[in-house]
Amino acid sequence: MSNAVKPLGRHQHWLALLLIGVVLLLVPFVAALGGQAWVRIANFAILYVFLALGLNIVVGYAGLLDLGYVAFYAVGAYTYALLASPHFAIHLPFWVILPFGAGLACIFGVLLGAPTLKLRGDYLAIVTLGFGEIIRIFMNNLNAPINITNGAQGITLIDPIRIGDFSLSQTSTVLGVTLSGPQKYYFLLVALAILVIVINIRLQDSRIGRAWQAIREDEVAAKACGINTRNIKLLAFAMGASFGGIAGGVFSAMQGFVSPESFSLMESITILAMVVLGGMGHIPGVILGAVLLTGLPEALRYGIEPLQKMVFGRMLIDPESLRMLVFGLALVLVMRFRPAGLWPSPQRRRELSESTD
Amino acid sequence: MSTQQILLEAHAVAKHFGGVKALHDVSLTIRRGEIYGLIGPNGAGKTTFFNCLTGLYRNESGHFVFDGTRLAADAPHKAAEVGIARTFQNIRLFGNMTALENVMVGRHLRTRAGVLGAITRNSTTRAEEAAITRRAEELLHYVGIYERAHDYAKNLSYGDQRRLEIARALATEPKLLALDEPAAGMNGTETDALRVLVEGICRDGVTVLLIEHDVKLVMGLCGRVAVLDYGEKICEDVPAVVQRDPRVIEAYLGGSLA
């Protein structure tokens, strides 16, 4: 990984960071020019960056193919929803629920991880997929005999993230700048994303990161080197799950509404596709993947509708179905021509070139 | 022989694969500081013995006593923890990691930094990381491939890969280094260099258990040799005696000489 460092001078390095910072600062204001809907889209892009980087620890670093990642997102979301809504008339503050949700998701991560430790590749994918579905179906049906999740109707009127009287979902003026609700969530999400990026970077070049990589490369040899592969794999599951839990909590607060529909298998696949499409194990790649896959459907929604009306005078194809078509086609093309992802780590590119040669 | 001289005792170790008796009540004793050879024809059970010893396989009966305590050989990482390091017959390196990183992975066992340390990068973690790097560099130097430190393991030459695997094994601070056919596929020069390396390792206080096909290497290097045939130990002695043992000759040349 030492070779992955870009040949940038220290000076240029800081300049690039400064540039990224300025762009990040401007995004919510530029997006707001097109309406608050665009700010929400930016928010979701960053939420997915967060989720994808959480999954990257499991899939990219430890090499464990997890198709049920959305389960942890759901656990976090429902934890927040149940503890901060009129549903049970409990209104705990977010700084209690978010860590609690992360912890709970972490426990679920270990629960899923423990029975799957001996599985690899396809087998692991199937079991995790099943796990993701179990959680969703539970959320869907836990409204009887005791109504816990309110079933398919979901939970509404979830509290926003609020510190004292300062609520993230209302417009307010901070230091002379008027910020809308979505714009405030944007800054919270950026802060969280930076946190997860730093954690990803630091883990990568650590004793734990090397152990994950060793397991990915050759599990038997890793064991012979004295790595307790069981614990190290569980650690990857637990960490990935915790990030999923935090993301779920923020999602809940931001939307004010959760229902099992948001946690379908498709969601897991989309998050995994972000990681794979962008470049597994490579942080900039994963970020790119998340932003592209969130932005693309929205661009289609806003671009295709007017385009069709303009060309044909009416809607021929539903943008939703077109979305899946383009999404699938993009995946096929990327996997065919850039199997290591759009922006792969030098490492992963080597691994894949080796197997296709 | 006092118990202090004995590093490893195998007591009637048996391993079956279905109806095949891969190991049949193999007992042997390895003394501290010696180079002990384990030879035998293909399929004699040498690697199976290694795998039982290092916890990759679970033996049906019998047990190992290592350094005075009975091995609970149910997990490979535990074997590494008590001080048994191994290399593999078909080299198993982390191909897409650099030579240096491979050896750094070997330090995992003897270091502590966890997730919190990694994330905060506190002074303890930084110091430990520096120590890991330093030790890994020393070991690469020791096995003679320091100049390849930043090359990817899979790009190293065959002989260098064998050396790297030894360096990685040494990084776990073993008391017993088990080498599975380290000279396989090496030419004469490389084999000679390997001999010097193994002798050096032994001199530096690590006991060596060597599986080898190259009979000449084993005879020149090992203090004592055991011969396995069809999962049974047929002979154990100093090389000169083993070489003349009729059972060994028969096992190697096959058929009856009578």
Q: DSSP letters along A126-138, please?
A: HHHHHHHHHHHHH
**Rounded Cα distance, A229 and A208, in Å:** 11
pLDDT at B246 over 90: no
Q: Is the dihedral of CA A67, A69, A75, A77 positive or negative?
A: negative
Q: Is B91 on the interface with A (CB under 8 A)?
A: no
> Which chain A positions have a beta carbon within 8 Å of B119's beta carbon?
198-199, 202-203
Q: Is B51 on the interface with A (CB under 8 A)?
A: no
Q: Please report the ipTM that was assigned to this predicted complex.
A: 0.91
pLDDT at A136 over 70: yes
Q: Could you report the per-residue pLDDT of A46-55, keeping only the tens digit for each?
A: 999 999 999 9
Q: Are A65 and A59 in contact (CB under 8 A)?
A: yes
Q: Is A242 on the interface with B (CB under 8 A)?
A: no
In a 3-state reduction of DSSP, which class is residue A332? helix
pLDDT at B170 over 80: yes
pLDDT at B113 over 80: yes
For position A352, what pLDDT does the model report? 62
> Which chain A positions have a beta carbon within 8 Å of B132's beta carbon?
207
> Which chain B positions have a beta carbon within 8 Å of A3's beta carbon?
98, 150
CA–CA min distance B172, chain A (Å) = 7
Indicate the pairing of strand B84-86 with strand B176-180. parallel
**Rounded Cα distance, B203 and B207, in Å:** 9
**Rounded Cα distance, A154 and A261, in Å:** 9
The whole-chain average pLDDT of chain B stands at: 89
Nearest by CB: B105 against A199, A210, A235: A210
Helix (H) or strand (E) holding B4: none
Q: Is B105 on the interface with A (CB under 8 A)?
A: yes
With CA atoms as reference, the chain A residue closest to B120 would be A202
With CA atoms as reference, the chain B residue closest to A202 would be B119
Helix (H) or strand (E) holding B210: strand B207-211
**Rounded Cα distance, A246 and A110, in Å:** 16
Q: Is B175 on the interface with A (CB under 8 A)?
A: no
Q: Please name the residue that has the structure tokens 């491939």.
A: B145
Q: Which residues between 209 and 228 in chain A have a beta carbon less than 8 angstroms from any beta carbon of chain B?
A: 209-211, 213-214, 217-218, 220-228
CA–CA min distance B169, chain A (Å) = 7
Instruction: Locate A334 and state its tokens.
Output: 């990327």
Which of A256-265, A298-307, B188-197, B209-218 shows the lowest per-residue confidence on average (mean pLDDT)? A298-307
With CA atoms as reference, the chain A residue closest to B92 would be A221
CA–CA min distance A326, chain B (Å) = 34
For position A348, what pLDDT does the model report? 60
Q: Which residues between 109 and 138 in chain B have a beta carbon less than 8 angstroms from any beta carbon of chain A?
A: 109, 111, 113-115, 117-119, 121, 125, 128-129, 132
Judge if the upstream peptide bond of residue A145 is cis by omega within 30 degrees of 0: yes
- B119:A203 CB<8 A: yes
Q: Could you report the per-residue pLDDT of A207-219, keeping only the tens digit for each?
A: 999 999 999 999 9
pLDDT at A126 over 50: yes
The whole-chain average pLDDT of chain A stands at: 85
Residue type, B102: N
Is B184 buried (19+), middle (13-18) or exposed (0-12) by CB count in 10 A? middle
**Rounded Cα distance, A169 and A25, in Å:** 19
Indicate the pairing of strand B20-31 with strand B6-17. antiparallel
Residue type, A24: L
Q: Is the dihedral of CA A280, A286, A288, A294 positive or negative?
A: positive
- A206:B117 CB<8 A: yes
pLDDT at A334 over 90: no
